[in-house]
Amino acid sequence: MRCVFGIDVSKDSISVAIVIDQTMFKETKLPLNRDGFRKLEEALQSFNNPEVVFEATGVYSRRLQRFLDDLGQDYTCLNPLVAKKQLDGLRPYKTDRNDARHLAETQFIMNRAVTYKISPVYRKLMDFSRFYQEVSKDVATHKNRLHRSLQLVFPEIEHVLSNTNNELYWSVVSQFSQASQVTEEYSFNEVVDLILKGTQKKISHARAEQIAHSLYSAARLSYSAVDDDSPVYLQVKHLVNQIQEETKLKASIIEQMTALAKELPEYNELLSIPGLGVRTVVSLIGELGDIRRFRNSNVLNAFIGIDLRHYESGDYVANDHISKRGNTVARKILFKAIQNIASAAHYHPNHINNYYQRRKLENVQQGTKKIAIAAIHRLIRTIYHLVINNQFYDYTLATKG
């Protein structure tokens, strides 16, 4: 006797269809909470080796997945795109009940493989990675808003320091966003003292004087678009505080991710690739998870969304392009990684940069983005090989391959 539980997960409930030997046995709807899981556990334990199939529905299916993991129950968690392709022809009348039924019934035909269960540490790293990406977006948003605000009150202050993305710059902007204060209310020595006291980063007195001179020159030229009591000055201070706090939070997230990732064997293996730093490695592990669950590097390509799509009809042949159906964050990380690898190659040669530079010389008219995607393919194969074979990067061996 073969028993399959087809489960459709929605926001606060699950529809369960129990099919035995291709015959519908029972259908029920349960709440997506502890009471519902208790009833589901009773149903699962009333059968020998039941199969469970459900579709991943983002944060909602995570609770079901956690429950099944805690129960020690094997399951098949379908990618939404895969589920759509498999079930579209069967559900002209789409309901949660029908979806659960179709998931169970088609399991007898397709015999889907059991989902690979990853260690909880990968789940934590993924959650940290998504948190880091969200905070990074917030920082970018607040920096754009700060730029617009400074254009109203003191745009010249953005040119006082060459680096506008560090603690010293945020301190100067927060304290001296009102140009009239610099020229009318503070003496030169007071400005120097405020610069020295305003940042935890130690700078010399001569450096503080240099910044003060630049600040005075900029303030004399500035002409504000708002009054001295404008709320825009309050907005500037608020945005600077937000950026400072979020920047510290980003650093804290990376520290916690690093502490978790160091326990994994692939951490040092990926770190051995020239050009990949700690931030890149822990972010990649967070987004890719346990790479050992992929049967080959081509499947990993598809997961990331850089697998090629080819189309031709008659005499027409379209240009190949990547699918972009996978992990967007991982694609961005890998794209930046290629740039870092190219920079590091001046001191640490690697076969990926050799390939990247050779393609650029051979295809002068081809866009660098396409060449970078081709280099990402090489990088993914390298990452997959190192993790699967538990090896460290060796340039000599890589060039022989």
pLDDT of residue 318: 44
Q: Which of 376, 387, 388 is nearest to 308 (CA)?
A: 376
Q: What is the pTM of this model?
A: 0.86
Q: How far is CA 194 from CA 161, 176, 214, in A?
A: 16, 10, 15
Q: Which residues pair with 29 in a beta bridge?
A: 15
What residues contact 109, with CB distance under 8 A and at least 6 apart? none
The CATH number of 124-258 is 1.10.287.4070
Residue 171 token pair? 């301190």
- 241/237 Cα distance (integer angstroms): 6
pLDDT of residue 157: 95
Instruction: Supply φ then ψ for residue 112, to 5 degrees.
Output: -65, 145
pLDDT of residue 267: 96
| CATH fold of the domain at 3-110 | Nucleotidyltransferase; domain 5 (3.30.420)
Per-10-residue mean pLDDT for the chain, 401 residues long? 93 94 94 96 95 92 94 92 72 76 91 90 95 96 97 95 92 93 90 88 90 94 93 96 96 97 95 95 95 91 74 49 77 93 90 88 73 90 94 86 57
Q: Where are the domains of the chain?
A: 3-110, 124-258, 264-400
Q: Which residues pair with 18 in a beta bridge?
A: 5, 26
